[in-house]
Amino acid sequence: MNNAMNFSGGPGALPASVLRETRDAIEALPETGLSVLGMSHRSEWFRGVLDEAERNLRALLGIPAHYHVLFMQGGSSLQFSMLPMNFLRASGRHAEYIVSGYWSAKAPVEARLEGDTRVLWDGRAEGYRRLPAADELQLSQDAAYLHYVSNETVEGLEFAGTPGLPEVPLVCDMSSNLLAAPIDTERYAMIYAHAQKNLGPAGVTVVILRDEFARRAITGLPTLLDYRTHIAARSVYNTPPVFAIYVLMLVTRWLRDEVGGVEAMAAINRAKADALYGALDAEQGFYRVHGERSCRSTMNVAFRLPTPELEAHFLETARREGFHGLEGHRSIGGLRASLYNAVTLDAVNALSEWLGEFRRREG
């Protein structure tokens, strides 16, 4: 029951069937008789796991053959550095960044260590409550790349469209909404996502990289920080996070076989978001959603109550009622419900109903 009512921002909820299969695999995999925690990354079994995980991702997202799918480590934080190391340093060009929240603000800090970095738009002055309109971005045709975060988990903001110019490589951190809805992979030079939202447990980062873009990387990089190293080694240059990749494979099976694919998942996610925002909007004098309506995230719903004291009481009462992970991010406080793929519509409906009860009792 606790797992079913887990609204944590990350690591987030995992599907019940995946948790059961993972529990059994920790004791012994049916294929090998060994615990998944003790399986060699050089074994044929693990090569099969990597290959299936890649096949499933390609099928679910429509990833073309001229894109590489890499399983890496270090989360988005490492990608903030690796991206400019490979494609900005010594390029003779500048990189462009959209800063729309807590996480995207970290990316240009690392890029500035590697070369000319320009922030096209920064929502900090407005408290990161909205996303930029197209006419607010002064885009350059000669940029090395444009980087943005598709969904801001802290503030609960999500891009409805895709920014940028067709001729400029587009790079996106999709850590919190990859696999939540269909995407046009061909529009991107590179997509990356750490797993602990919709893909699986913490420890693995998926990188989807167009081959032509990968070949632009400079030479002379440290071996482990060169994307071409991981392409050549098929994600096994060093010891990968075997357990996390195994669970990611199970999650992609679940999404394919039990949910019916990414389009079906998107419809469920839309219903979840509509239910929760509807409950909050019904009590606007009591609950206040952080982001502007046009920019609201389907994955992360950030909101406030009239006072910090009432928020503390809300969290204490919610835990007693069986709702977990509703604390807001430390950077802005308040409250947050994350509606990742594994969070069921039943769980969201239960939370939505309880929000009304709490308002009537405490308002």
Give the CATH number of the domain where residue 267 resides: 3.90.1150.10
> Rounded to an integer, what distance in angstroms lies between the CA atom of residue 323 and that of residue 335?
12
Instruction: Tell me the mean pLDDT in the region 27-45.
Output: 95
Pairing of strands 190-194, 170-173: parallel
pLDDT band at 363 (very low <50, low <70, confident <90, very high): confident
272 is catalytic: no
Which pLDDT belongs to residue 4? Answer: 83
Which pLDDT belongs to residue 80? Answer: 98
285 and 236 in a common domain: no
> Rounded to an integer, what distance in angstroms lies between the CA atom of residue 275 and that of residue 255?
22
| CATH number, domain containing residue 217 | 3.40.640.10
Contact 161, 67 (CB under 8 A): no
354 is catalytic: no
Instruction: Tell me the mean pLDDT in the region 126-152.
Output: 97
Which is the catalytic residue, given 45, 103, 106, 354?
103
How many CB atoms sit inside 10 A of residue 43's CB? 13
243 and 280 in a common domain: no
How many structural domains compose the chain?
2
**φ, ψ dihedrals at 151, nearest 5°:** -145, 120
> Rounded to an integer, what distance in angstroms lies between the CA atom of residue 336 and that of residue 349?
16
Classify 299 as helix, strand or coil: coil
Evaluate if residue 1 carries a pLDDT over 70.
no
**φ, ψ dihedrals at 357, nearest 5°:** -65, -40
**Domain-ending residue, one of 225, 258, 291:** 258
pLDDT tens digits along 287-324: 999 999 999 999 999 999 999 999 999 999 999 999 99
251 and 271 in a common domain: no
Instruction: Tell me the mean pLDDT in the region 182-210.
Output: 97
Quick check: pTM over 0.85?
A: yes
144 and 106 in a common domain: yes
Which is the catalytic residue, given 24, 51, 197, 274?
197
Which pLDDT belongs to residue 285? Answer: 87
Contact 56, 256 (CB under 8 A): yes
> Where do we find the tokens 């977990």?
324
106 is catalytic: no
Which is the catalytic residue, given 106, 122, 173, 254?
173
